[in-house]
Amino acid sequence: MSRVEPQKVLVADDDAINRQVLAELLKPEYTVLLAKNGEQALERASRHMPDLVLLDVVMPDMDGYEVLRRLRADPHTAQMAVIFVSGLDRPEDEANGLKMGAADYIAKPINATVVMARVALHLQLVRQRRMLERLANVDGLTELANRRRFDELYAIEWQRARQNGWPLSVALLDIDAFKQYNDHYGHPAGDRALRAVARAAREAMRAPGDLAARYGGEELVLLLPDTDALQARRLVEDLGAAVTALALPHAASTVAPVLTASAGGATLLPGSMETASDLFQAADDHLYRAKQAGRNRVAWRAAT
């Protein structure tokens, strides 16, 4: 049975005693991260992706309201649950925090029972929300991300690549002669083959941000952030070899005696003015080239 990792809580407070009190309170049940100011809170939230943030409102240089505003402005942290913990206990202070998007508001001085109850409640809500999101974002047959999830993450990674000057690679992979496979072996066998290819694609992903998704039918799409053309092409070629290594017999194929796949890809270069649609179309065009060249191969747009 796999071990369930404890949920992560980030405590951001400029007062060392408050940080220590909250840390000691939470550590028996959760993984606790600490930040002593707003900048640290933003950096640790982005790097560690905590499940919940306990955020002091009154801090020097950057108050809790500004930290929350920046968290909400970043697509990676926009949905992060935040509870304000503050000595400002007027009703209008609490209302202001909730209007800004905080999940809850706890007044100081800290009451241990109240804090633990509120934290447990909101972490349960986080778990439930993520379960629903997973069901909405996962393809039922392959258990890969679905097209909707790919489109969401592609838009986010596109913006990050353009803003930071990072490369971004996209590839489309299509199982060769899959219609003939289904016709010859039957659709249940086709579903098993597609799941096997999906597992190979999932295992081929190397970085935490890499994504393999089912784009439609027997076509998969790979999203490889911060990956240059050489690295991306090598990864996709390795995936093609892994599909062949599955050694699934394909008597109806004119390509090979076993199931194979073709792929096409393209890489956004730093400083490029190419649009997201242009990059995806380039990957699709090169998938077509791979098929035209005989299938069971990878075609990649050369760097320009």
Domains of the chain: 8-137 (3.40.50.2300), 147-300 (3.30.70.270)
Q: How far is CA 144 from CA 126, 147, 240, in A?
A: 22, 9, 17
C-alpha–C-alpha distance, residues 287 and 218, integer Å: 13
H-assigned helices in 138-211? 147-164, 178-185, 187-204
Q: How many residues does the chain have?
A: 304
List the catalytic residues: 218
User: C-alpha angle 229/224/179, rounded to 5°?
Assistant: 95
Buried b (16+ CB within 10 A) or exposed e, 228-259: bbebbbebbeebbebbbeeebebeebebeebb
C-alpha–C-alpha distance, residues 198 and 144, integer Å: 7
Q: pLDDT (tens digit, 9 = 90+) per residue, 270-285? A: 888 899 999 999 999 9
Q: pLDDT (tens digit, 9 = 90+) per residue, 181-224? A: 999 999 999 999 999 999 999 999 999 899 999 999 999 999 99
Query: Smallest Cα–Cα separation from 145: which of 133, 156, 157, 155?
Result: 133
**Residue % of the chain over a pLDDT of 70:** 98
Q: pLDDT (tens digit, 9 = 90+) per residue, 210-267? A: 999 999 999 999 999 999 999 999 999 999 999 999 999 999 999 999 999 999 999 9
C-alpha–C-alpha distance, residues 288 and 176, integer Å: 12
Q: Is the dihedral of CA 46, 47, 53, 54 positive or negative?
A: negative
- Give 3's pLDDT tier (boundaries 50, 70, 90): low
pTM score? 0.65
Amino acid at 92: E
